[in-house]
A = this chain, B = another copy of it.
């Protein structure tokens, strides 16, 4: 089943009606609603409310029993499939228009950096949080990586200064403020930072994320899970427009 066939100009009014009915179905069993009430929910008249319910029934997206005064509505398997396919299509689209990183087992180099005393103190002061002594490694697609790098160019990084100790010299490190979140959970949008280490040894598009909590636990992650990386410059476009 092709999603584009399901929502097309002729019936996105119906799709919206189904969406609203599903919201009502949250409270479950079946939906008992009059055309007046449904019209109000749609922000339209009783007549249109009635028409929409008719149309949805015709489309086979809902079933109903009219019982004199009241009508009982339920979502059919077809209706649910429509919703599910739109959901899935949206998920695919979002993976294209957002920068998504895939949790991966890293080489813990970032973690090593964080632990170094001379850096750690600076991270604490300049990032605005005391970072967990380890990084979360996220693998980006080529395109996402490209876009991310381009975006980062337009952002002034937080500079962690280099220093020397008895043994060796430590170079400066750049960080970038970001927000990290799961695709399916809007409440947990966590402040974090991209740790920009110039790396020679993995060509792969892996970025390292610093945050106060241990992110794998905080977001309940396993390898392969996907996170949204949000470089919150509000008015910016998400797909790059050079």
Chain A residues within CB distance 8 Å of chain B: 4, 7-10, 12-13, 15-16, 19, 22-23, 25-26, 28-31, 42-44, 62-63, 65, 72, 74-77, 79-80, 83-94, 96-98, 143, 183-186, 220, 222, 224, 228, 232-242
Chain B residues contacting A240 (CB-CB under 8 Å) are 29-30, 74
Cβ contact within 8 Å between B30 and A97: no
Complex CA gap A228/B87 in Å reads 13
**Residues in chain B near residue A93, CB distance under 8 A:** 19, 22-23, 25-26, 83
Q: Please report the C-alpha to C-alpha distance between residue A71 and residue B41 in the assembled complex, in whole angstroms.
A: 37
Residues of B contacting A233 with CB < 8 Å?
Answer: 77
With A30-B242, A93-B19, A97-B22 known to touch, is A77 a contact of B234 (CB < 8 Å)?
yes
CB distance from A61 to the nearest CB of B (A): 10
What residue of chain B has the Cβ atom nearest to residue A144's Cβ? B28
A25-B96 contact given A8-B43, A220-B224, CB 8 Å threshold: yes
Inter-chain contacts of A234 with B (CB < 8 A): 77
